[in-house]
């Protein structure tokens, strides 16, 4: 399962049935879970933990030092969950001390070719990032979000769950959950209805989210007033509560 031209540091730990392709280099303090496939010409530096059943395609670079001028060589980490697919030329950097020390990618994510994830980002489960999507540092992406090709996201931005970012967008503020955003700079274009239906959200939930969206973004009210009106109008909807909580806790402000 280990190609004879691969270089595996004695300080690395490989689980059962791990495959490492030709000319790949796995450094010290790297842990790779069972049944993970590391293809040819991959470089993985530690401290890095990769879960079970992952696939890492050629010419990816995982766990190298953050691209941060303040970084002075401290032992920060990269953690990748189970079942995540990392396609060709993906780069994921470790964290920084100032940012908490960990860059984290969840389980069952799909990172397409040339994706870049910078230091201290947190990517939750089932996130899809299309070709050339680029994250600056300290970005948080909630589960089931989809980031289109050639999208650039500003540092410290949060992307809500089930959000969809259209291709070639520049995202400088937070994108609320369940919403569709696109453009340079990005703006909201409604709910991600295709994603909601694909994930079997009930018709009632979708109606509630549509009503909340109209109040929050199309009523002409200032945001504080729109939040109050939404809370008064729509009761007992966890998804609407999630949307409101995201907006109320946003630090960068949200795209409107």
Total domain count, the chain: 2
pLDDT in tens, 192-225: 999 999 999 999 999 999 999 999 999 999 999 9
- Which sequence positions are flagged as catalytic? 119-120, 137
Phi, psi dihedrals of residue 241, rounded to the nearest 5°? -60, -40
Average pLDDT, the chain: 97
Has residue 171 been placed in a domain? no
Has residue 25 been placed in a domain? yes
- Pairwise CA distance, residues 221 & 95, whole Å: 40
Has residue 69 been placed in a domain? yes
Alpha-carbon dihedral 204, 208, 214, 220, rounded to 10 degrees: 160
Do 132 and 210 lie in a common domain?
A: no
In this structure, are residues 180 and 162 in contact, taking their beta carbons and an 8 Å threshold?
no
| CATH number of the domain enclosing 202 | 1.20.1180.10
Please state, as a whole number, how many other Cβ atoms lie within 10 Å of the Cβ of residue 232: 9
| Boundary-marking domain end, from 87, 110, 138 | 138
- Burial (Cβ within 10 Å: 0-12, 13-18, ≥19) of residue 46: buried
pLDDT in tens, 230-245: 999 999 999 999 999 9
pTM of the model: 0.97
Do 19 and 122 lie in a common domain?
A: yes
| pLDDT for res 242 | 98
| pLDDT for res 67 | 97
| CATH number of the domain enclosing 82 | 2.160.10.10
Percentage of residues in the chain having pLDDT higher than 70: 100
Do 134 and 201 lie in a common domain?
A: no
End-to-end CA distance of the chain: 51
61-98 as b/e: b if 16+ CB within 10 A: bbbbebebeebeeeebbbbbbbbbbbbbbbbbbbbbeb
| pLDDT for res 54 | 98
Do 102 and 207 lie in a common domain?
A: no
In this structure, are residues 108 and 90 in contact, taking their beta carbons and an 8 Å threshold?
no
Comparing C-alpha atoms, which of 161, 168, 184 is closest to residue 133? 168
Residue with tokens 């280099």: 25
Long-range contacts of residues 147-152, Cβ cutoff 8 Å, at least 24 apart: 148/182, 149/112
Task: Domain of residue 236: give its range.
Answer: 197-248
Has residue 201 been placed in a domain? yes
Please state, as a whole number, how many other Cβ atoms lie within 10 Å of the Cβ of residue 222: 8
Q: What three-state secondary structure class fits 193?
A: helix
């Amino acid at each position: 399962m280990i190609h004879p031209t691969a270089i595996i540091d004695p300080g690395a730990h490989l689980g059962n049935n791990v495959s490492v392709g030709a000319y790949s280099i796995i450094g010290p303090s790297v842990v790779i879970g069972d049944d993970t496939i590391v293809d040819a010409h991959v470089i993985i530096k530690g401290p890095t933990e990769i879960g079970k059943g992952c696939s890492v395609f050629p010419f990816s670079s995982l766990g190298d030092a953050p691209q941060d001028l303040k970084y002075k060589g401290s032992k920060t980490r990269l953690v990748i969950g189970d079942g995540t697919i990392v396609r060709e030329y993906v780069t994921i950097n470790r964290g920084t001390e100032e940012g908490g020390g960990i860059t984290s990618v969840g389980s069952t994510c799909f990172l397409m070719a040339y994706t870049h994830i910078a230091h201290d980002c947190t990517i939750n489960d089932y996130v899809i990032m299309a070709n050339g999507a680029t994250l600056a540092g300290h970005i948080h992406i909630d589960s089931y979000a989809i980031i289109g090709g050639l999208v650039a996201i500003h540092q410290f931005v949060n992307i809500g769950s089930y959000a969809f970012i259209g291709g070639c967008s520049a995202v400088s503020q937070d994108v609320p959950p369940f919403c569709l955003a696109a453009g340079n700079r990005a703006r909201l274009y409604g709910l991600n209805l295709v994603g909601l239906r694909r994930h079997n959200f009930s018709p009632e939930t979708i109606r509630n989210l549509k009503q909340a969206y109209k109040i929050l973004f199309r009523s002409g009210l200032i945001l504080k007033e729109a939040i109050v009106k939404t809370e008064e109008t729509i009761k007992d909807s966890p998804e609407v509560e999630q949307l409101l909580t995201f907006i109320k806790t946003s630090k960068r402000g949200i795209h409107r």
